[in-house]
A and B are shown apart, each in its own frame.
Chain A
């Protein structure tokens, strides 16, 4: 009797476990598509309330709005794939933007290198990313603290260099990096598209990209399998810095000015976008295409709330809600043994 009950109970538990696994796998198959679904639903919803939403002009504006976060998110995606975090974004962008703005025709000094100045901010961004990764890996400091420190240092450098002033750009060729159009789409959007392409190639075809998945999935196993974990980490942070450098250029071209706080507010926008797109903060899951969807979701939501006329004090609440819903839907938490 007892044993039968035990067997039945055991069988029941087994069956139920099997059924959850089946349900889980069915969900697992459509899970990557959930953010896309949410995005489509959001677009339909906004269009129903505001007919202005689905117009060519507005899509172009969304493309412009999404460009800078998209470029920055290209870098952030890889870091988060590792299971790490990068809080240096705003500082790195500030250094790149300030350096760039001081080299092109501006209102503060007499430099005028024009487009020849382009490589420097990218190199500076990469360098800061390298320092970030080096401090994190070689000094064994958690990425949260290492990147926070590098970010503060970056804002500090920008502040010291400018001593608080704002640099206004006069050079319309440089402004053209963001403002000029090709096929009626502004260059800022094209830049973002090219960055996504680069990120996708790195993610798909290079060892750096593949190894970042391996490390994010299980660092110990990766190490035992001979993956040079430290070097990959430093490489990924350098790559992130590379994208932040491009982001700095875009900021200068788009806003026509630079100052130490030029990128203020982008950090959380970018982390939100990456996570909402379905890349897990625990690492190893997601990728650049998820991030594209995430950035579009956050941008469309911001755009849509103003079109629909959501009161400003409600908007932040809606954004917070979106993050929780998106993460709840798109990340498989049944496998997470620990939530901290």
Chain B
């Protein structure tokens, strides 16, 4: 032991120790695998568990009631695909997968693999525009997304209402090449056009979805436009919080209305305190749970997915706008742990997905 702290421990010793530990951990594996083999494997694949959105996504899958494996891609498409293949092999195709693909092209590879192995897959948010569930029988069950244009516009309208439908505002966007970022911005621009020139977009900057970036940009805006800023529109809640903190450093928090999108807990409490005037809750628990539910019920034959209309196979889910008007009832519902009904398959369908 003393050698560990004084001398140069040889890497071989360390590797041996690590190898031993892994070996010991692997010992019970044959038993575990045998126990699971009879049953259908449920799995969720997503980017990472470091953010509230995906953490709730995974929790939703687990709330469906069966044990759900969670695969994490860490933003690496190769890993995402390899993990799914490993699980397909392990479960012998007896798999129901709900996946938020790391990148749109990944969806094609994964859907084809799952279909070939005879499993069921539901994709969320990302897929290539020409990849459709109805081309894969009952194997590619559905694709669920959310209409960024609609909710970007809704938050724009909410913001302008708080500004008294007049004056200048600034916009914080996500990454340029990212579909939700493009859609939400397009929605915001529609809202601006809807005011007939009474509300003006002073400047639009890209803050890469993060609070620290939004913080710096908002600070510079306060310098550049000072009193001309009557509102701040942000494409997600992280950036909205960054903007609020920059305003707080100037003593302007709560005086300039801010909107976000995503419904993160800090944003919800900011709506409560009046520092934000709105956000949109996607209810990620519903997404994760419903993704698994659609796949599972198709597999056991409860849904005959091939007989369902196209609007049930590629559809927009429903976002819940959170504003001053409904904040109290929204927070109470969250606190009570809303009871999600994963057998109400089409209750939140907002129509078939449109391609821009």
Using CB atoms and an 8 Å cutoff, list the residues of chain A in contact with chain B. 50, 52-53, 55, 57-58, 61, 64-65, 68, 107, 138-141, 155, 158-159, 163-166, 168, 178-179, 186, 251, 254-257, 259-266, 299, 302-303, 306-307, 309, 312-313
Can you add 11 more A-B contacts, CB < 8 Å, to A65-B216, A254-B245?
A52-B223, A58-B223, A61-B220, A61-B222, A107-B269, A159-B48, A254-B215, A299-B216, A306-B203, A312-B176, A313-B176
Our pick among B176, B208, B219 for the contact of A65 (Cβ within 8 Å) is B219
Question: Which stretch in B7-15, B100-108, B306-314 binds the other chain?
Answer: B7-15
Using CB atoms and an 8 Å cutoff, list the residues of chain B in contact with chain A. 7-9, 11, 14, 48-52, 54-56, 173, 176, 203-206, 208, 210-213, 215-217, 219-224, 226, 241-242, 245, 248-249, 264-266, 269
- Contact of B216 with A164 in the complex, beta carbons under 8 Å: no
Whether A164 touches B203, Cβ cut-off 8 Å, given contacts A107-B265, A179-B249, is no
Name, among B50, B215, B241, B266, the residue most crowded by chain A CB atoms within 10 Å (CB to CB).
B50
CA distance A141 to B176 in the complex (A): 38
- Contact of B50 with A61 in the complex, beta carbons under 8 Å: no
Our pick among B203, B210, B215, B222 for the contact of A264 (Cβ within 8 Å) is B210
Of all chain A residues, the one with the shortest Cβ separation from B223 is: A58
Whether A139 touches B216, Cβ cut-off 8 Å, given contacts A256-B245, A261-B50, is no
Closest beta carbon of chain B to A259's beta carbon, Å: 7
- Contact of A139 with B210 in the complex, beta carbons under 8 Å: no
CA distance A329 to B249 in the complex (A): 36
- Contact of A64 with B224 in the complex, beta carbons under 8 Å: no
Of all chain B residues, the one with the shortest Cβ separation from A263 is: B212
Q: Give 15 CB contacts A-B under 8 Å.
A: A57-B222, A163-B55, A164-B54, A168-B266, A254-B215, A254-B245, A255-B211, A256-B241, A256-B266, A263-B212, A266-B212, A302-B220, A303-B216, A303-B223, A312-B176
- Contact of A64 with B210 in the complex, beta carbons under 8 Å: no
Q: What B residues does A259 contact at CB under 8 A? A: 50-52
Of all chain A residues, the one with the shortest Cβ separation from B13 is: A139
Of all chain B residues, the one with the shortest Cβ separation from A140 is: B8
- Contact of A55 with B51 in the complex, beta carbons under 8 Å: no
Q: What A residues does B52 contact at CB under 8 A? A: 164-166, 259
Q: What A residues does B265 contact at CB under 8 A? A: 107, 165-166, 168
Of all chain A residues, the one with the shortest Cβ separation from B11 is: A139
Q: What B residues does A50 contact at CB under 8 A? A: 224
Closest beta carbon of chain A to B241's beta carbon, Å: 7
Closest beta carbon of chain A to B170's beta carbon, Å: 10
Closest beta carbon of chain A to B176's beta carbon, Å: 6
Of all chain B residues, the one with the shortest Cβ separation from A316 is: B206
Q: What B residues does A166 contact at CB under 8 A? A: 51-52, 264-266
- Contact of A306 with B11 in the complex, beta carbons under 8 Å: no
Closest beta carbon of chain A to B2's beta carbon, Å: 13
CA distance A335 to B203 in the complex (A): 46
CA distance A285 to B203 in the complex (A): 41
Our pick among B50, B203, B206 for the contact of A309 (Cβ within 8 Å) is B203
- Contact of A168 with B269 in the complex, beta carbons under 8 Å: yes
- Contact of A164 with B50 in the complex, beta carbons under 8 Å: yes
8 tightest CB-CB pairs across the interface, nearest first?
A: A164-B55, A306-B220, A260-B50, A58-B223, A61-B219, A312-B206, A168-B266, A159-B50
Closest beta carbon of chain A to B314's beta carbon, Å: 28
CA distance A266 to B213 in the complex (A): 10
- Contact of B212 with A265 in the complex, beta carbons under 8 Å: yes
CA distance A90 to B58 in the complex (A): 25
- Contact of A265 with B213 in the complex, beta carbons under 8 Å: yes
Q: What B residues does A302 contact at CB under 8 A? A: 216, 220
Closest beta carbon of chain B to A229's beta carbon, Å: 12
Whether A255 touches B223, Cβ cut-off 8 Å, given contacts A138-B9, A163-B49, A186-B249, is no
Whether A306 touches B241, Cβ cut-off 8 Å, given contacts A57-B223, A164-B55, is no
Q: What A residues does B224 contact at CB under 8 A? A: 50, 52, 306-307
- Contact of A312 with B222 in the complex, beta carbons under 8 Å: no
- Contact of A306 with B221 in the complex, beta carbons under 8 Å: yes
Our pick among A55, A107, A265 for the contact of B223 (Cβ within 8 Å) is A55
Name, among A57, A140, A168, the residue most crowded by chain B CB atoms within 10 Å (CB to CB).
A168
- Contact of A255 with B245 in the complex, beta carbons under 8 Å: yes
Of all chain A residues, the one with the shortest Cβ separation from B264 is: A166
- Contact of A265 with B208 in the complex, beta carbons under 8 Å: yes
Q: What A residues does B219 contact at CB under 8 A? A: 61, 64-65, 303
